[in-house]
Amino acid sequence: MGITEKVRDAGVVGAGGAGFPTHVKLNAKADIVLANGAECEPLLRVDQQVMDRFAPEVVAGMRLAMKAVGAKRGVIALKDHYKAAIAALNAAIGSDADVTLHIMHSYYPAGDEQQIVYDVTGKVVPTGGIPLDVGAVVCNVSTLVDIANADKGTPVTEKYVTVGGAVRNPCTMNVPVGINAAELVAAAGGTTCDDCSYVIGGPCMGYVTDSLDFPIEKTTGGILAIPKGHFLLRQKDPCQSLQIIQAACCQCSLCTQMCPRNALGLNVAPHKAMRAVGQGVDLLENANGIFSCCDCGICTYQACNFGLKPHVVMKQMKQGLMAAGIKPRKEVYGPADIAIDMKRLPTSRLIGRLGISEYDVPAPMNCNLMDVESVKIPLKMHVGAPSTPVVKAGQKVKKGDLIAEIKEGALGARIHASISGTVTAVNDQTIEIKVS
């Protein structure tokens, strides 16, 4: 059995957040495989510690991915202050020149897939395209560990998650897929304030919730407790009236000047989107610039001096275009900005602007798997169709057993039991298992 089939059987998906089924990504031909270890978002600590603790697995997974796509070159991209990870990876790579490191400065969003591709290859992925269009395949470093495990017959049943923000003991823990998020916050000592909201993912691109009653998925990277009323939560609130946009936006274009996707030559122009909303102008002819927005939020969190939210407007426009059946044209608008390096936003500056410096602390990794009494495993943790259950209530399962199969003829991923026990409930959204 080839590695692509093993990866399919193991249910490997993009662990960095996208959740694209990895066996589909590896069923291609590419010149280079890029490992994303830049950990795009502030406060998250998973990738840097995975590279430190599991460097041999990261390198093994890289070489397996290279073999699958026929690439002669593999590059692991990570930030220059990840000193322990750099040392561990160099030791794991050894003297072979097929895999190298690409050391990046700590800027935001360094972990954006398109930034990684450009930084390493000098090529720009077109709007509406994927890295394969420029001969590259990109995998998160945790995904590479999952590929290495899949080669040994071990399916994806666990996830490393950083729990940070206003918690007593920020940490990165190893948990079974399907564990309730509230259990992670409790294991981190609980919150340090009485009234918190939670950012799931990173502070910039993550979503906000007031409830922790949801299961951890294969793509969950972080849970950040943020006190109610904090500046970050106000900036992430999608509400903003048309009257405020009309009154306050002076078309300074700083949002566009600081946009990392605009600097790549992808014609992302948030100030034009703001003008279109304020004046009721149709931006259909500039739809590609809307589609190229990566929702990093720099335009909102750092650029706008009036507290406006251009990234919210961009997201709403993108959703409107997609709902209308409009698709992006595969193109690069122009060459990358010759001053792109000077336009990059230092992560430390963003952290200060967001008011989260007090939460920028280590979150040490505990590799021991957290004990749980039950899990509720979602059937949709990946791009594509929900998986189809192959177990029934009352059935005994062991950790690693297949419990949901890829829907016939659809894009999807297999799902496996993350604990041993008894299946207690099965529906079209989740499978519940309790230790018996």
Lowest-pLDDT choice from 87-96, 132-141, 323-332: 323-332
Average model confidence (pLDDT) across the chain: 95
The reported pLDDT for the residue numbered 240 is 79
Residue 310 is classified by DSSP as H
Q: Tell the CATH topology of 157-230+355-371.
A: Ubiquitin-like (UB roll) (3.10.20)
pLDDT at 283 over 80: no
In 3D space, the residue among 22, 3, 368 whose CA is nearest the CA of residue 153 turns out to be: 3
- The gap from C-alpha 378 to its chain's centroid, in whole angstroms, comes to 18
Instruction: Report whether pLDDT(264) > 70.
Output: yes
Q: 355 is written with which tokens?
A: 């008011």
Q: Answer whether CATH 2.40.50.100 is correct for domain 373-436.
A: yes
Amino acid sitting at position 354:
L
Say what the pLDDT of residue 20 is.
Answer: 97
Q: What is the pLDDT of residue 286?
A: 74
Q: So what's the pLDDT on residue 287?
A: 86
Q: What is the pLDDT of residue 242?
A: 78
Burial of 301 (0-12, 13-18, 19+ CB in 10 A): buried
3-state helix, strand, coil in the chain (%, to 5): 35, 20, 45
Partners of residue 175 on adjacent β-strands: 159
The confidence band for 278, taking pLDDT boundaries of 50, 70 and 90, is: confident
**Token reading at 177:** 């897929």
Give domain limits for the chain.
Answer: 3-151, 157-230+355-371, 242-351, 373-436
Q: What is the topology classification, in CATH, of domain 3-151? A: Rossmann fold (3.40.50)
Torsion of CA 377, 382, 385, 390, to 10 degrees: -40
Task: Tell me, yes or no, if the two domains 3-151 and 157-230+355-371 fold the same way.
Answer: no
The one-letter code for the residue type at 425 is A
Q: What is the pLDDT of residues 170-220, one digit of tens each?
A: 999 999 999 999 999 999 999 999 999 999 999 999 999 999 999 999 999
Let me know: does 35 contact 121? Beta carbons within 8 Å.
no
pTM score, two decimals? 0.96
Say which residues have a Cβ less than 8 Å from residue 11's Cβ, sequence separation at least 6: 155, 156, 218, 413, 414, 415, 416
